[in-house]
Copies of this chain bind each other. A is one copy, B any other.
Amino acid sequence: MKLPGTVAWTEEGIRILDQTLLPAEVVYRVLETIEELEEAIRALRVRGAPALGVAAAYGLALALRKEKPADRAAFMDALPRARTRLEKTRPTAVNLAWALARCEERVREEKTPRVEDLHAALLDEAHRISEEDRLLCERIGEAGEPLVPDGGSVLTHCNAGALATAGIGTALAPLYRAWKKGKRFEVFADETRPLLQGARLTAWELREAGIPVTVLCEGAAAGLLASGRVGLVLVGADRIAANGDTANKVGTYGLALAAAAHDVPFYVAAPFSTFDPGLPDGRSIPIELRAEEEVTGGRAPRGVRAWNPAFDVTPARLIRGFVTDRGLVRPPFERRPGGRKRIG
């Protein structure tokens, strides 16, 4: 199975596959500064919640390397500044903030005064996050594989595949795993307006992997679900509240409503770290509003406004289960005797 190298560390900087050019061109870029990384994240050259976590972790290493702090104090002073800059690039995906916090914590734990050791610890933590993400994807694939029908169809939204992670993806991982085991099925991919991650990215990586894929407009999904041809809906997640309410690419909520209307199992695949226990429910998830031009660009009349939220929130009651690296988790999540919500 041929899968892309979405994000990797090199001596020159962070190497990414520029996803804005896919599928027409397969171009790898090396980002040498934090400014280049910020631009790449905002422009969605690198995207997908888990891949953003990995890229941001490497971004800290990159920023500190360029900053050349003279001593530990300067290093520890520069670190949160870089962290804050990277955190601001995309507000919804929890992985980004989570990876940055983890890197900073790791460095704070290193008691060494030697700057080169701090650099090494930072880069090591970023490598760990990347390698862990690869393993998480494998485990998500294993946990979700039994859900994949043999001979039927699966519907997915946006791109939660290899291009969104450092591994074989989240929502697509069970499909890759099932295909490898010999199951045969077709994937329907919502094109995912406005940026067409489904038509451009999911279609591209599934075709590269040899899995049959058919693209459709978001508007056609409810009719497809009504037709009875889809046995499973599987999507990724950018942030999951403690009660299971899930933020994912805009359009996911409507898809979940349509799946529920036709009793098609609707599952969310994500690393366990996507759960944000600090948020009681979906109302507190910050939703990124992106540029109006992404929607109006070239087609709407001049001067017409657009409303362009990047994400929406699917309530937990519409989600049959979460496919995670810790196995299949089903809502509703009970309260622990201690009063804290239990996730999984």
Interface residues of A (CB under 8 A from B): 23, 188, 190-194, 196, 199-200, 203-204, 207, 212-224, 226, 249-254, 257-258, 261, 287, 295-296, 299-309, 312-313
Contacts and interface: CB of A to CB of B under 8 A. Distances in A.
Q: Count identical subunits in the complex.
A: 2
Given A23-B302, A215-B306, 5 more contacts: A215-B304, A219-B312, A220-B308, A221-B254, A224-B307
Contact of A251 (B203, B217, B249): B217
Nearest to A201: B301
Contact of A219 (B192, B204, B212, B304): B192
Contacts of A196: 299
Contacts of A204: 301
A59 to B, nearest CB: 29
B216 A295 contact: yes
B307 A203 contact: no
B301 A203 contact: yes
Contacts of A304: 199, 203, 207, 213-215
A203 B261 CA distance: 31
Contact of A253 (B192, B223, B296, B299): B223
Given A215-B305, A307-B216, A223 B203 contact: no
B312 A214 contact: no
A199 B254 contact: no
A301 B193 CA distance: 16
B254 A222 contact: yes
A219 B307 contact: no
Contacts of A251: 217-220, 222
Nearest to A282: B226
B301 A23 contact: yes
A222 B295 contact: no
